Amino acid sequence: MRDYQQFYINGEWVDPLVPNTLDVINPATEQVCAQISLGSEGDVDRAVTAARAAFETYGRSTREERIQLLESCVETYQKYYNDIADAVREEMGAPKSLAMSAQAHAGLGHLKEALRVLREFPFEENLGEHRVFKEPIGVCGLITPWNWPLNQIGCKVAPALAVGCTMILKPSEVAPLSGYLFAKVMHEAGVPAGVFNLINGDGPGVGTALSSHPGIDMVSFTGSTRAGSLVAQNAAPTVKRVTQELGGKSPNIILDDADLEKAVTQGVLHMYNNTGQSCNAPSRMLVPAARLAEAEQIAAKVTASVVIGDPADEATTMGPVVSAVQFDKIQGLIQQGIDEGAKLVVGGPGRPEGLEHGYFVRPTIFSEVNNQMTIAREEIFGPVLVMIPYDTEEEAIRIANDTPYGLAGYVQSGDIEHARRVASRIRAGNVHINGASGGYNVPFGGFKQSGNGREWGPHGFTDFLEIKAVEGFGT
């Protein structure tokens, strides 16, 4: 069992001021796999003091110094790569293949991308005799979720380091193991004391203290829309910048000229990726009403190919959901879909056959869903897909946009110009045509209640920068 009860503050591993131990549960076994400490307001104060002191020098570091530091971070992360992948598999049940190829890779990918952007990023701009400077915003509170832990840590820490900010990271207490290893990477890479700090804890104990602390200049939060709203409220009295990447209920419009077999297969498999625990999952599949029955048959066939089981098994393609809380929530929503009259195509309540332990959910597809049903409105965050029939393209676009969210959208068509026209009308921060996915250089973020600001690549630097105009600077 892992013992991760210390915090990383001011370049040292330190004990919490108030002992408060939390068991970390392996969702595949329901057994304790680690223990961490939950931090307090006093721990946050210590970390903020260290980060503010470090900013006095790191905030004035040169581009060349930060390039060297990020190069060291990339090299050190690669040494820990396998350990990080194992930690993700253990803490959140990601299948081994997914943990290696995507979960652990995301942290490395964002470090490499930040390094690439940093080499060329324009921190100064001349406007005639005046000059505009882009300067680090200061001390940042970074609050990250459990579903893609390294992705969200990497896409916040890497640009913050690149532009000269100092930071306090609070990973999710549900899946904190990979974040702990990330702190070891930062230490061994030679990140100066106080520049990067890590405190484990829950939202009320550490998240609230970070978002409301007067010594924090900005908060970057990823999580639920409900929690994001609380972060913004806590931050408001000190008028700090708050950027948020929140929930989603993303539409996947299959147009009438799409290859139905290919489009449905792609959409179903994408939905089951990471056990449906992705904020941009294509959870609402919009299908031409005349072809709904055919789409149901394809979706059921694809679902039958999913291999559910031990995340350590090479053959497993879908693991458990992350916790008992999530399991119970998903079970309740599946039952609500049945109660509200949706057609159950495959799956349903309970665990998959042969799995008596672990938070395993049956991959589930509902059809004949209308957009007012609970399962079409709420973010389920599990392997549950709803199929919504439509009669006209205008109706499909209206249904797609009829949601408080706007993180992602998907359009499937055999005609690229047709797909582009429809994509242009989707109110979402990321729209994918025919299954295309963006790289680490493409901005990621949402419209409406899916958040504000953008992460990843050059656009990800912007949230961590202040703009200073110096008039009369000279040319």
Quick one: which H or E segment has residue 31? strand 31-37
Of the pLDDT bands very low, low, confident and very high (cuts 50, 70, 90), residue 474 is confident
Same domain, 403 and 420: yes
In this prediction, residue 144 has a pLDDT band, given cuts at 50, 70 and 90, of very high
Residue-wise pLDDT tens digits, 433-468: 999 998 999 999 999 999 999 999 999 999 999 999
Residues 255 and 222 in one domain: no
Q: How far apart are CA 2 and CA 314, in angstroms?
A: 23
Residues 89 and 311: their CA atoms lie apart, in Å, by 7
Specify if 142 maps to a domain.
Answer: yes
> E strands along 391-458, which residues?
408-412, 430-433, 451-452
Residues 226 and 311 occupy one common structural domain: no
- H helical segments located in 12-135: 41-58, 63-92, 96-98, 104-120
Verify that 330 and 375 share a domain, yes or no: yes
Please check whether residues 96 and 188 belong to one and the same domain: yes
pLDDT bracket for residue 267 (50, 70, 90): very high
Q: Using CA atoms, how far apart are residues 407 and 439, in angstroms rounded to an integer?
A: 16
140 and 284 in a single domain? The answer is: no
Q: Give the domain range for residue 310.
A: 251-439
By DSSP bridging, strand 408-412 and strand 130-136 are unpaired
In-domain check, residue 34:
yes
DSSP 294-332: HHHHHHHHHHHT--BS-TTSTT--B---S-HHHHHHHHH
Q: Is 164 in the same domain as 256?
A: no
With pLDDT > 70 as the criterion, what percentage of the chain qualifies?
A: 100
Q: 264 and 396: one domain?
A: yes
Mean pLDDT of all residues in 3-9: 98
Mean pLDDT along residues 59-86: 98
Q: What are phi and psi for residue 238, nearest 5 degrees?
A: -100, 5
Picking from 179, 161, 180, 167, the residue whose alpha carbon sits closest to that of residue 141 is 167
Residue-averaged pLDDT of the chain: 98
Average pLDDT over residues 290-295: 98
Residue 393 lies in a domain: yes
Overall average pLDDT of the 210-237 stretch? 97
Say what the pLDDT of residue 136 is: 98
Rounded percentage of the chain residues whose pLDDT exceeds 90: 99
Catalytic residue among 245, 296, 379, 455: 245
Instruction: Note the pLDDT of residue 255.
Output: 98
DSSP code at position 455? B
Q: Identify the helix (H) or strand (E) that includes residue 286.
A: strand 284-288
Residues 370 and 454 in one domain: no
Q: Which residues of 329-350 are buried (b: 16+ CB within 10 A; e: fewer)?
A: bbbebbeebeeeebeebbbeee
Residue 199 confidence (pLDDT)? 98
Residue 54 lies in a domain: yes
pLDDT at residue 475 greater than cutoff 80: no
pLDDT band at 40 (very low <50, low <70, confident <90, very high): very high
Is 444 within a domain? Answer: no
Is residue 199 domain-shared with residue 318, that is, in the same domain? no
Q: What is the pTM of this model?
A: 0.97
305 and 411 together in one domain: yes
CATH number, residue 369 = 3.40.309.10
Tell whether 475 is covered by a domain: no
Known catalytic membership, residue 64: no
* Contact by Cβ (8 Å): 220, 454: no
In tens, the pLDDT along 91-125 reads 999 999 999 999 999 999 999 999 999 999 999 99
Indicate whether 288 and 165 sit together in one domain.
Answer: no
Clarify whether 340 is annotated catalytic. Answer: no
Residue 56 belongs to a domain with what CATH number? 3.40.605.10
Report yes or no on 455 lying in a domain: yes
Length of the chain: 475
Q: Is residue 129 part of a domain?
A: yes
User: Which residue in the list 73, 140, 155, 279 is annotated as catalytic?
Assistant: 279
For the chain, the domain total comes to 2
Stretch (H or E) spanning 36: strand 31-37
